Amino acid sequence: MKNSLLFLLTSFYYFFAYSQSENDIAYIRSIVEKTNTYSKNYQTAILKSDQGLSTEGNEITVYTEQLNEIKLIKEIYFGEMGKTVISNYIEDNHPVFIFKEYYTYKFPITFKEFNSNDFTKTDERFYLKNNRIIKWMKEKKTLKTYPKNAASIESNMMEHVASLITQFEKENKE
């Protein structure tokens, strides 16, 4: 009897934890879908470029709904051998989903053989709750174990997005 009660309690705990996580992921996906659907209706602002973030320049666009509520921050960093596109989906001034796309060109942009349509692409997806990664995917596959520097990656992403939000607020005071 004691073992079956322990089994039931353990099973309930895992079921609850798993379903809560899946509910969080579904909620985040709904935010991303809504943002993508309505992004053409949002106001946009270009952040002033911080020199040194990219070898060939960058573009950072902030998408806002009414009252400057940030919904998306899209970053594009250009390099000689490719570019990185980062889409930061925001809710209540906190990232909930970060989608990173890495494009690697076959030839450097300075070569005559360069063709911007000739590239390989990889991606990473980060689902976030309370500024913590709750699901990390590479190439549409969920990572079962995170790299040893995962805490540092998580912290750097949160600090970076927070700095972009602060920069936007400073540049767009009314």
pLDDT the model gives residue 56? 79
How many structural domains is the chain composed of? 1
Mean pLDDT of 130-134: 94
Q: Are 86 and 50 in contact (CB under 8 A)?
A: no
Buried b (16+ CB within 10 A) or exposed e, 11-25: eeeeeeeeeeeeebe
pLDDT in tens, 146-171: 999 999 999 999 999 999 999 999 99
pLDDT at 2: 52
Its domain, for residue 152, covers: 2-171
Six-digit token string for 141? 């596959």
- The pTM is what? 0.84
Please name the residue that has the structure tokens 């942009």.
109
Residue whose token pair is 């906190």? 94
Amino acid at position 71, single letter: K
Within 10 angstroms of residue 6's Cβ, the number of other Cβ atoms is 10
* Residue 110, φ and ψ in degrees, nearest 5: -85, -10
Any idea which of 3-7, 19-23, 67-71, 83-87 has the lowest mean pLDDT? 3-7
The encoded tokens of residue 38 equal 């309505």
Residues 89 and 67 sit within 8 Å (Cβ to Cβ): no
